Structures are given as C-alpha cells and as structure tokens.
Amino acid sequence: MAVTIVIPTPLRQFAGGQSEIEVEAATTGEALEKLTAQFADLKKHLYSDGGSLRNFINVYVGDEDIRDLDNLETGVKNGDEILIVPSIAGGNIAAEAKAEKELPALSNEEIARYSRHLILPEVGLEGQKKLKAARVLMIGTGGLGSPLGLYLAAAGIGTLGVVDFDVVDESNLQRQIIHGTKDVGRPKIASAKDRLQDINPNTDIEAFETRLTSENALELFKDFDVIVDGTDNFPTRYLVNDASVLTGKPNVYGSIFRFEGQASVFWAEKGACYRCLYPEPPPPGLVPSCAEGGVLGVLPGIVGTIQANEVIKVILGAEGILLNRLLLFDAWKMRFRELKLKKNADCPICGTNPTIKELIDYEEFCGLNLPVEEKTLEEISAKELNELIKSNPELQIIDVREPHEFEIARIPNTKLIPLGEVVNRSKEIDPSRLSVVHCKGGVRSAKAINALQENGFTGRLINLKGGITAWSDEVDPTVAKY
C-alpha cells in the first residue's frame, strides 16, 4: 500500500527537508519503520530508547489518533495520509449562564458600535450583553496576543486582562501588530493597553506587567471566565493548561511555527486538556524559537483571529467550538486539517485519578533546569575572534546557518555548512586547522560542534558566543542584524 507520511516543520531537518514522504506499508508502524530506516536521525525524535512512540509525538491516520485505534498496528490503505503531529505550543460559561437581569445594559453608542453583531441572530442583543459581561484573560501580547486583543476589544468584551512583561523590540513589528514603531523600547503591556483602549474605550483593560508563574497563575485566573493562551514556550503553555484545569476555566489555545499553526479549545470539564494531547514536552531545543526558526508575519494573525473567534463562541454558548478538535493550518500550502481529540482517562491533571493537584515547577518539567551531562565546549567572544582573525591566517570560520540567512549577513571569509549537513560534510573542515563555528546566536553552532565531536571529528572546534549577532554588536555594526 502506498501511503504518504506528512512530516511537520520541526522534524523536516531530520528528513532531508522533505514535507511529505511516500512509503509502501500495510500498517502505521511499518510505515514509520520504513521512514526511520530511511532517515536514521529521525528515529530518536519519534521513539524512546525502549522503542515506543514518545509522548510529545502524536500520529494520526486521516483524522483519527492511532492511540484511539490499534496504535502502531493501525492498518492503512492505498492513498492514506499519516500525520506526525508534535507539540509546537460549545458550551456555556459563567458569563453565558448569568440571568438576564444580571447582564449589563448597552448604551445607544454601544448599540451603534456593535450593530453588525446585533443583527446576527446568533449574537443579538442578549449575546452582545454576554460579551460585555465577560472577563477574558490573555497571556501575552505578542504575535498571537496582538490580533487576539484587537478583535476581542473590537467585539465588545467587557474586561480584557492582559499579562506580559516583555519590551517592544524592532524585530517584533513584522507580526506583533498591536505595537508600532513609536513603541519600540516601551513595555508591551503599556503599548498594548494604549492600543486596545483606542480600539474600544468601552472595554476595561486590566494590565498585569508580570511573568506568569506557578505562584501567581491561580490567583490571576480565578476572576476571569476564559483564558487565552498566546504564549511562545512550553513551560508557560503547560502552566496555562494546568492552572486552567485547576480553576475550571476553558483554555483557548494557539501555537505557531514558521508557516504552521495549531488551535483548539481545551476545557477539562467538557473534554480534553492540553496534557491529553501532549502528555510531555519535546526535549529542549528540538523546536526552535521564532528568533531561530522564523515565522511568517501573517501566520499569528490568522491563528490569533481563530482564537478570538473561539473565545467569542465560548462566551455566547455557541455550538461548534473547537472542543475535542485540533485545527492545523499550513499557511504556505493554504491548507486546513482537523484532527479529533479525546479526553485521556489517565491524564495526570484532568483524568479519572489525577496526580497533579497543584501547580509544579514547569521549567523543571520541560527539562530547562535539570542537571545535564557536562560537555567540553570551548567558546570565544566576538572581540576575541576579531583578534584571532588578525593573528591566525589559517583560522577556519564555519557558518552553520541556512543559505538564506547567509545572504542576509555574514562574517568575512566564512564557509557555509548548514547544521543539517555538517556531519556529512565534515571532510570539508580541515582537522589540522583551528575552527570557529557560529550561527545566529550560538545555539545551533553548539549543536554542530557536539554532532561533529560525537561523530569522531578530531580537530579543535570553538563556538562563537552570541553568534553573528554578537559580531554585529561588538565588532562590525555594518553587519545586518535580523
């Protein structure tokens, strides 16, 4: 049977950059075995040392999770698609359940402002009052939080809570449309509040300039009806999920990476939570940040507005919310997919016998502050590299970024060998000469050095601390920063 395996963006670097691979197989397990036989580096990201699929990897045949079928023995037929889905990040609520007499009145100005809502029978006067009565907490005012905030304020949400602690950077402006050029250097919370109040002065903005933590999440969540996850890292995503479950709040989820996005509504009282989908996070560093991996500017706008749409539907008590459904979006191919989710009876926080009954250390849970095996990694600063270039004409400088990054900016006299090719092209690096390896910020170059050493490279390799960004900051400001 010829089946197509769809490779998600984070794993394509281990599959020769391919997005789809066709194999002959009768079962899902056989298809994955053939895939990993063809791409050996992919195997450790899909399977544990014991040979079972990792918990942060979900596999679907069509729209069905193989965990709900026959797992790896799930049969496939000619033309089927197998989707690998790794983590990347209807009903009523309190506002909907309020009695009519408790709903706030609308002024004539508000009736005029929301007139296009009021003439929709699905919203109407009562629905608009529910929106005005609702309290929604947004976590983040970045790529997802920007369209979320703009559309929720415009829709007439009565109270918007906003949590953020970051500062507006010029690189944010390509996608974080709630901020403008004049806001560079300002706290995002201040910039977002000004913009939201300008969009709709009837919306009360409650600003929390703080990092969301295990110490403050439950207290923040308890006074809001809906939580909207606009975060960009796994520790905060699991924190948002767990705090939402423990406080009984619906969690409207979205995540983005390069050209791909995900959206769902996690609501433990009515269905699956985020941990039901992804019981554990991926290893640190597997999924690059937007700074390392990039993101198409309009992608968070599309996913963020989908989240805003779901928030409004949840408040109105509409049928058809993204409950127990995971929506996948590929902006480059302009393709939507929908996958079914099921509540996991063994989920550690929302299952039949939960073991997580309070918030935990999410940095530790995601492996960000666990002890790691110490590896010798020699580093050099940009200024030291500049002096070394002057004194050592035999020096090799290896750039492990991608070709399109190399076109943007480069250090003079460097050799480009992308990270995904560095082991196979190691013979192009002379082990008898000193080599400095660099990328954008120092993460990929460290991976390249470790990979070369693990594969027997004997030459001396030094990592450029801070990468080409540090070179631009400390040595040559004419080298563009991106």
Nearest CA-CA partner of 130 in 93, 90, 95: 95
Rounded distance between C-alpha atoms, residue 277 and residue 324, angstroms: 10
Residue 263 pairs in a beta bridge with: 254, 327
Q: Catalytic: which of 273, 290, 347, 350?
A: 290
- Return the axis-axis angle of helices 299-316 and 145-155, rounded to nearest 10°: 40
DSSP state of 454: H
Beta strands in 33-97 (DSSP E): 57-61, 64-65, 81-86
Is there a catalytic annotation at residue 439? Answer: yes
Tokens representing 99 are: 């009695």
Is there a catalytic annotation at residue 273? Answer: no
Rounded distance between C-alpha atoms, residue 339 and residue 137, angstroms: 26
Residue 327 pairs in a beta bridge with: 263, 338
Q: Is 288 exposed, middle or buried (0-12, 13-18, 19+ CB in 10 A)?
A: middle
Beta carbons within 8 Å of 193's beta carbon, 6+ residues apart: 162, 205, 207
CA dihedral 393, 397, 403, 404 (to 10 degrees): -90
Q: Catalytic: which of 273, 276, 366, 439?
A: 439
- Known catalytic residues are 290, 439
